[in-house]
Homo-oligomer: A and B are copies of this chain.
């Protein structure tokens, strides 16, 4: 941590900061510049909060952290790429993973038709929401446990793994009974009570980036899960909120490359929420492969026009099959495979 003093700071104020740094258990190191004094606080431990509080001390201009606050999920700490296992399936390894399915589980027919189709096209995981976090209370809120049962039935029929969202700590145990991997949605990325509970869920977690979450915050949310005992975490870039209204969100593909550089966790991309527009799913999916993603999570619906949610961004089953077929060559260029 670097504490920059104001140009007019007095020697007493500088001494006060040094004393405070020592009090927190760190060692102060003074640099006297031509314009101002800068003090480095050396050490490590849990004093970050207290050091940042020094911004309030007289004579202090700024407090600048130098190290990143996440550790367990950082590549500095663990250089090897992590692999998250869903039974015999590995996310983060040489196989490129495609998760596909409807936004919401609506009916048995809708789900089974989709499951069979995405399986045939090459997906390894079936997505489908049973608990839906919807902006409006008047929108469809999901089939809840009934939806989970349908997902489990689809798994039995097709052999696909199941990913579905959990939206509150109380539901973790139940959702974990049905799903192979638990999804934390963008709006819950900083639902810390949920993240803590997921630490002991006994299932891998796919953690979506919040609408306005920085990369650092995403990694700190992952750190919550890891620190509470669960290291099987997959990060998901799904677009951030910006001023641009032409797309539902702004898909931050550079973030995927950066996450792969600074963290050892696998990263997948959601081009459906990332763009909100069916015609953009194909090109951004290809780009996601090329930028280094470990997989995709894509919305597919047999009849998007009739979907109860997210129709505009859902691929048809045929559109999805064409996408997967086209992706394979890009996956090979990344020295990976997708059967």
Contact = CB atoms under 8 A, between A and B. Distances in A.
Interface of A: 2, 4, 7, 20, 29, 31-36, 38, 40, 42-44, 46, 48-50, 52-57, 62, 64, 66-67, 69-70, 76, 133-141, 167-171, 187-188, 190-194, 211-212, 214-217, 220, 223-224, 227-228, 240-247, 250-258, 261, 274-275, 277-280, 283-284, 286-292, 304-309, 311-312, 314, 329-330, 333
Nearest to A307: B53
Contact of A49 (B220, B280, B308, B333): B308
Given A40-B33, A215-B244, A330-B290, A137 B194 contact: no
Contacts of A220: 135-137
20 contacts: A33-B42, A33-B66, A48-B139, A49-B308, A50-B306, A53-B307, A53-B312, A55-B311, A56-B307, A64-B66, A69-B138, A134-B192, A137-B192, A167-B191, A171-B193, A187-B190, A212-B241, A214-B245, A240-B250, A243-B243
Contacts of A243: 212, 214, 240-243
A12 to B, nearest CB: 14
Q: How many copies does the complex hold?
A: 4
Nearest to A261: B279
A137 B46 CA distance: 11
A190 B133 contact: yes
A257 to B, nearest CB: 4
A214 B246 contact: yes
Given A36-B67, A66-B4, A289-B290, A216 B170 contact: no
Contact of A287 (B46, B135, B290): B290
A114 to B, nearest CB: 15
Contacts of A171: 193
Contacts of A216: 246
A247 B250 CA distance: 14
Contact of A35 (B67, B170, B307): B67
A125 to B, nearest CB: 22
> Which 3 A-B pairs rank lowest in CB-CB distance, beginning with the nearest?
A212-B212, A168-B193, A53-B311
A227 B253 CA distance: 34
Nearest to A141: B192
Contacts of A254: 247, 250-251, 274-275, 280, 283-284
Nearest to A305: B56
